A and B are shown apart, each in its own frame.
Chain A
């Protein structure tokens, strides 16, 4: 089995080496894009089964964001929903023989955490203003500024390491058991990996929501106003 901490390029696009996580991510992106195009092609006021599932997923994301941030979920729906969906599918891609989940590599997790980190800062500045956002580092006292700054880094690293550790370890354990025991022995562990993958996707998405919510602060929602329910996704 390959060392999961190292990446070998599959091919090069000019000077850019294309590794397996990137290729699998592209495949996932294409699949999700095609699925989105096909699933949302004929949306109706009286939904079918697929539309009902999609609306249930979006409504669940909105509910989670609303419950966590106590704000209108529209500006955060795409980011949180995409993170959850991508991490979930990436984690579950290990079920396909020969495919290694992109999230089992540190670069993918770091990329996702980097997106969350940047989004947290962007939403924080957008919501509070630059001074207001910077002022949050002095809460509850200016003495906490160093610790808050360190927390920004460490919690991002914790996102990376938590996801990377769980997924990589699952893949690693399945690979070891498969090499030692036989063809069907790792199946329970793969089932456990499905659960672990779903839980990790949920945790990653929820933590991203919590970080962004802490950055923007609480604000009374105006969900009763229908205008606020329109899609404001960037």
Chain B
């Protein structure tokens, strides 16, 4: 057995060269791509970890924001509740004032209506009284409807100032209205009493007015003298109305 030293040397060189070739063109690129993939995977893992960390941070921030929103909501609700309560109190006050106004207006209206009703009632009562008086007068003797009022009329003339009294019947007959047609006797007696109170002879012109109910009325130039039941009722009515 012999060793071919040339072959041994060449094969040694070949082995070294082959190691270099494969190291350069096979193992290095493949191991580099493996390392690159591992680095990429590690980068992905790091990115995922970072994303997870960011997500957890964002979640914590969102939770803080939610808590803050809840607090703000509570504040807004309280503020709104207070504002609503204030507005409600204001509206209630306005409503109460309006109600007071309405009630005052209603009371005023009621008072007016009541006053009108009272006035109407008094008016109706006056009418009723006049009617009653008229009906009652029909039960009295006709003489009483004139005689009972004659002296009152004479006294009224007597109570007049002299100037006024002197002017009555100067320019003509004294216009005398009676509740009914006067008899000649009654007319003469009244004329006599007028001449007596005036101090001179006077003439009278007679007229009849059933609305007087009972009594007499003189419509002179300077004075109107009433002494009849209608005038009394009117006066009573005026006094009642004045009482209100």
Contact = CB atoms under 8 A, between A and B. Distances in A.
Interface in B9-26: 9-12, 14-23, 25-26
A40 B29 contact: yes
Given A45-B36, A77-B31, A230-B32, A26 B7 contact: no
Contact of B22 (A26, A44, A81, A108): A81
A115 B16 contact: yes
A233 B11 contact: no
Contacts of A233: 23, 27-28, 31
Given A79-B19, A107-B4, A115-B19, A55 B12 contact: no
A116 to B, nearest CB: 9
Interface in B23-70: 23, 25-40, 42
Interface in A133-191: none
Contact of B21 (A18, A25, A36, A107): A36
Contacts of A230: 31-32, 35
Contacts of A45: 33, 36-37, 40
A70 B9 CA distance: 33
A196 interface: no
A199 interface: no
Contacts of A226: 35, 38-39, 42
Contacts of B20: 78, 234
Contacts of A85: 22
A57 B38 CA distance: 17
Nearest to B16: A115
Which of A62, A82, A226 has the most B CB atoms < 10 Å from its CB? A82
A123 to B, nearest CB: 13
Contacts of B19: 78-79, 82, 115
B36 A110 contact: no
Does more than half of chain B's interface fall in helix, strand or loop, or is it mixed?
helix
B1 interface: yes
A86 B35 contact: no
A25 B27 contact: no
Which of B8, B11, B14, B37 has the most A CB atoms < 10 Å from its CB? B11
A150 to B, nearest CB: 21
B25 A105 contact: no
Contacts, number: 145
A112 interface: yes
A32 interface: yes
A37 interface: yes
A96 interface: no
A134 to B, nearest CB: 25
A108 B31 contact: no
A64 interface: no
Given A5-B1, A6-B2, A29 B8 contact: no
A205 to B, nearest CB: 13
A78 B15 contact: no
A39 interface: yes
B3 interface: yes
Given A78-B23, A231-B28, A110 B8 contact: yes
Interface in A1-20: 5-7, 16-19
A82 B4 contact: no
A101 interface: no
A59 interface: yes
Contacts of B11: 21-22, 25, 102, 107-108, 110-112
A57 B12 CA distance: 24
Nearest to B36: A45
A153 B18 CA distance: 24
Contacts of A17: 4, 6-7
B181 to A, nearest CB: 145
A214 interface: no
A192 interface: no
14 contacts: A5-B2, A36-B21, A40-B26, A40-B29, A62-B31, A77-B23, A78-B23, A105-B7, A106-B3, A115-B12, A115-B16, A115-B19, A231-B31, A231-B35
Interface of A: 5-7, 16-19, 21-22, 25-26, 28-29, 32-33, 35-37, 39-40, 43-45, 47, 51, 54-55, 57-59, 62, 74, 77-79, 81-83, 85-86, 102, 105-108, 110-112, 114-115, 226, 229-231, 233-234
Shortest beta-carbon contacts, A-B, top 10: A78-B23, A111-B11, A36-B26, A36-B25, A107-B7, A40-B29, A111-B12, A231-B31, A107-B8, A43-B33
